[in-house]
Amino acid sequence: MSSTSYDTSADTSTSVGPESVEAAAPARATTYSLPLKPVITIRPSKPWAPLKLRSLWAYRELLYFLIWRDIKVRYKQTLLGATWAVIQPLTMMLIFAYFFGLLARLPTEGVPSGLFYYAGMSLWTFFSGAALSGANSLIGNTNLITKVYFPRLIIPSAAVLAGVVDLVITSVLIFPLLAYYGLSVSWRLLLLVPISGLITMLALAMGILFSALNTKYRDVRYALPFLLQVWMFISPVIYPASMVPREWRWLFSLNPLAGIIGGYRASLFGQPIHWGALAYSILFTIMALSVAAYTFRRMEKSFAEVL
């Protein structure tokens, strides 16, 4: 019987494909050359560092957007819209003209009582509203502050500047009132624009300062309305500066609103302007805005933690 032999030896040859060759190849060493100096250096900002106005200018479109957003939110779903900016000072004008003009007979320096009170209330309504909006702006934008980086100074600035629209509307109504009472128009009306800009800067200083303090001390949101109410009664809003006794006028002149409101009325009604009081108001406003801006920058690094 013939025996058949089979070659049972296993084929140990293995076909090597391209993938295996590439995998079997030794890994190439990759080296990266590091720069001698870091490209970006991140350091904590110094408390009294410059304000970096260039960065604020770079985010100017965000400032415009926030201003427009605040204006739309203020009058959204309202029947009268921007007319509310006129209703409040106009209503207070009628109330003051009746109680202080007819009943108490407070002097108005030869100006019709209704026009006198409207001029004071239009400025005060803007100032108090802008200061309150600026003080509460950071707390109202907590989600935006904690998620996105941008100069935080934009938020209270937008809240204050949004109120300028109300000031413009109330100021336009003054001209029909001047015609109604038969008062002549003089070149001093040109001073309304810089004086309005001055009270806007003062409101901006108050809004920036109290917005920074409000993030750490929540008592500010309760104390500020009370302080503004007291500030109104020590300012010539419903009475002329001439009513203050002569021995106390130096103390009364320390109030920056005394020069601003007095200059506003004088430019409207063609009266002599107290340039010394107005110059003091300008100096005080510049100093207050500088102190508020640097205080804000010093406290800015802790906003995300305390909000």
Instruction: Evaluate if residue 52 carries a pLDDT over 70.
Output: no
Indicate the pTM of the whole model. Answer: 0.81
Q: Phi and psi dihedrals of 163, rounded to 5? A: -75, -10
Q: Rg for the chain (alpha carbons), in Å?
A: 33
pLDDT > 70 in the chain, percent: 79
Residue 286: CB atoms within 10 Å: 14
The reply to whether 12 falls in a domain is: no
Nearest to 65 by CA among 144, 3, 178: 144
Q: Phi and psi dihedrals of 59, rounded to 5? A: -105, 30
**pLDDT attached to residue 284:** 97
**pLDDT attached to residue 17:** 47
For the chain, the domain total comes to 1
Instruction: Evaluate if residue 272 carries a pLDDT over 80.
Output: yes
Cβ–Cβ < 8 Å for 117, 238: yes
The reply to whether 110 falls in a domain is: yes
Using pLDDT thresholds of 50, 70 and 90, give the confidence band for residue 236.
very high
Using pLDDT thresholds of 50, 70 and 90, give the confidence band for residue 35.
low
Q: In this predicted model, which residue has the larger pLDDT, 128 or 149?
A: 128
Degrees to nearest 5, angle at CA 79 with 93 and 169: 45
Q: Average pLDDT, stretch 132-138? A: 93
**pLDDT attached to residue 219:** 86
pLDDT digits (tens, 9 = 90+) for 64-75: 999 999 888 887
**pLDDT attached to residue 154:** 93
Taking each helix axis as running N to C, give the angle between helix 275-299 and helix 256-269, from 0 to 180 degrees, rounded to the nearest 10.
130
pLDDT digits (tens, 9 = 90+) for 172-199: 888 888 888 888 877 888 899 999 999 9
Out of 143-147, 210-214, 234-238, least confident range: 143-147
Q: In this predicted model, which residue has the larger pLDDT, 258 or 49?
A: 258
Q: Phi and psi dihedrals of 52, rounded to 5? A: 55, 60
What's the burial of 62, exposed, middle or buried (CB within 10 Å: 0-12/13-18/19+)? middle
The reply to whether 225 falls in a domain is: yes
Nearest to 231 by CA among 255, 213, 201: 255
The reply to whether 19 falls in a domain is: no
Instruction: Evaluate if residue 18 carries a pLDDT over 90.
Output: no
The reply to whether 54 falls in a domain is: no
**pLDDT attached to residue 304:** 65
Cβ–Cβ < 8 Å for 199, 191: no
Cβ–Cβ < 8 Å for 170, 84: no
Cβ–Cβ < 8 Å for 288, 198: no
**pLDDT attached to residue 98:** 87
Q: Average pLDDT, stretch 238-261? A: 91
Tell me the DSSP string of 191-260: GHHHHHHHHHHHHHHHHHHHHHHHHH-TTHHHHHHHHHHHHHHTTTTSS-GGGS-GGGHHHHTTSHHHHH
**pLDDT attached to residue 255:** 95
Using pLDDT thresholds of 50, 70 and 90, give the confidence band for residue 234.
very high
The reply to whether 21 falls in a domain is: no
Q: Which domain holds residue 174?
A: 59-69+81-306
**pLDDT attached to residue 89:** 83
**pLDDT attached to residue 249:** 87
The reply to whether 153 falls in a domain is: yes
Out of 20-34, 80-94, 205-219, 290-304, least confident range: 20-34
Q: In this predicted model, which residue has the larger pLDDT, 48 or 61?
A: 61
pLDDT digits (tens, 9 = 90+) for 290-302: 999 999 988 888 7
Instruction: Evaluate if residue 224 carries a pLDDT over 60.
Output: yes
- DSSP letter (8 states) at residue 302: G
The reply to whether 5 falls in a domain is: no
Q: In this predicted model, which residue has the larger pLDDT, 307 or 190?
A: 190
Instruction: Give the list of residues 6+ apart from residue 80 with CB closer than 8 angstroms, or none.
Output: 87
Which residue's structure tokens are 């800067």? 201
